[in-house]
Amino acid sequence: MKKGYLILQDGQVFEGVRFGAETDTVGELVFTTGMCGYVETLTDPSYAGQIVMQTYPLIGNYGIIREDFEGACCVKGYVVREYCDTPSNFRTDCDLDTYLKEQGVPGLCGVDTRELTRIIREHGVMNAAICDEIPADLTPIKTYAITGVVEAVSCKEPDRYPAEGEECFRVSLIDYGAKRNIARELCKRGCAVTVLPCSAKAKDILAAGYDGVMLSNGPGDPDAVVETYEQVQQLIGKVPVFGICLGHQMISLACGAQMEKLKFGHRGGNQPVMNLVSRRVEITAQNHGFGLLFPSLGKLVPELSGGETEHAADGDLRVWVRRGIAPVVMNERFGRIRLTHVNLNDGTAEGIQLLDAPCFSVQYHPEASPGPTDAHYLFTAFTRLMDGEENYLDIDTAKDRLQGWNFAENGSAATETEEN
């Protein structure tokens, strides 16, 4: 096994063992807390430009399953405590080392990932390099920046997916780095999906007469894609819109909001989020490094915000969780906007709903697979919005999650398809 190094931009060095592609790389080092789903992590375009570190100590035990890919492999590097070179799974196509070699992605194992995680949590995400030798000059690492990634990961030509069963809606999915499961979840709900490049123009989308527009996840700094959220601004109020992750940020920026770069981001499949509308806690999958500053959307509407007139000075939105209120602000561009979801770990905004336009969005990933199914109801909410239902977010989330399942008297469960 060949020795390798992870070099942080502040000069700290971690020695490990190389696997995957034998090439050097520079990227933004981030950590993800998922205990499974590394196949989906590696193929999530939202990680473009980043070196991904897994906090879970053993990765690769079920190999690489190509059927589960969410997109192209866009990571710059991969860091793990230990990887399994003898996977055991009947669906395995190859092992992790082989796949990383195929993709030209360097990996490093044998690293103290717990210590690395502590460093990132304390100091924030930082640039890093995976290399064979410790460089004398850290300038290339310190000056690295993620640029042009949305255009790089977006599709170049439209693609189409038919609805499962009866076609009820025609939806355009704007691809900022879309995970494949977004289209799958829409198709399950009777949507014929047309995937469009990130360069798609609002006037062309509106002229095509879609029933709704889905804005996907994607990588990078949302403020760097000005042309994109300017197009979104032209869509809001003219067609039902649902945004996820970067799509949520595009809607927020279209409303004139400000974004902040989070210290170490939210990445993993175990983030608790309070739905302020249903008062249910959702366990969510997340992958983002930027977040919405909710107060920047406008001033509170007291009669719709429990009588409050001022936003919390510290910006912690968990105050609304404690009060059991989904506050509403008055936005200069699109009228009333409600805060619908709050992250219970750090009090950041996780979802908004425009009350005077058919539009809503969440920062997390309701389509995540594998992962929690708590938020799958949001795709149902989108179909209800396209159907013109006023209270489209008022959903029995537990019932929606279990739709299609029959539970036998003895406690065993089977899907309707299996029983029939």
Give catalytic residue positions: 245, 365, 367
Query: Which pair of tokens denotes residue 55?
Result: 């906090």
CA distances from 250 to 245, 367, 386 (A): 9, 18, 20
Closest CA to 229 of 209, 204, 247: 247
Kindly report whether the peptide bond that precedes residue 106 is cis, defined as omega within 30 degrees of 0: no
Residue written as token pair 């594998």? 370
The pairing of beta strand 50-54 with beta strand 25-32:
parallel
Distance CA 156, CA 163 (A): 22
Q: 285-308: string of b/e by CB count within 10 Å (b at 16+)?
A: bbbbbbbbebbbbbebbeebbeeb
Query: Is-contact 24 131, C-beta < 8 A?
Result: yes
Query: Is-contact 292 262, C-beta < 8 A?
Result: no
Could you tell me which residues are beta bridge partners of residue 197? 175
The pairing of beta strand 3-8 with beta strand 13-20:
antiparallel
Distance CA 48, CA 70 (A): 13
E strand or H helix that includes residue 230: helix 226-235
Distance CA 399, CA 224 (A): 40
E strand or H helix that includes residue 42: helix 38-42
Q: In one letter, which amino acid is 381?
A: A
Distance CA 48, CA 242 (A): 23
Phi-psi region for residue 104, left (φ > 0), alpha (ψ -120 to 50) or beta?
Answer: left
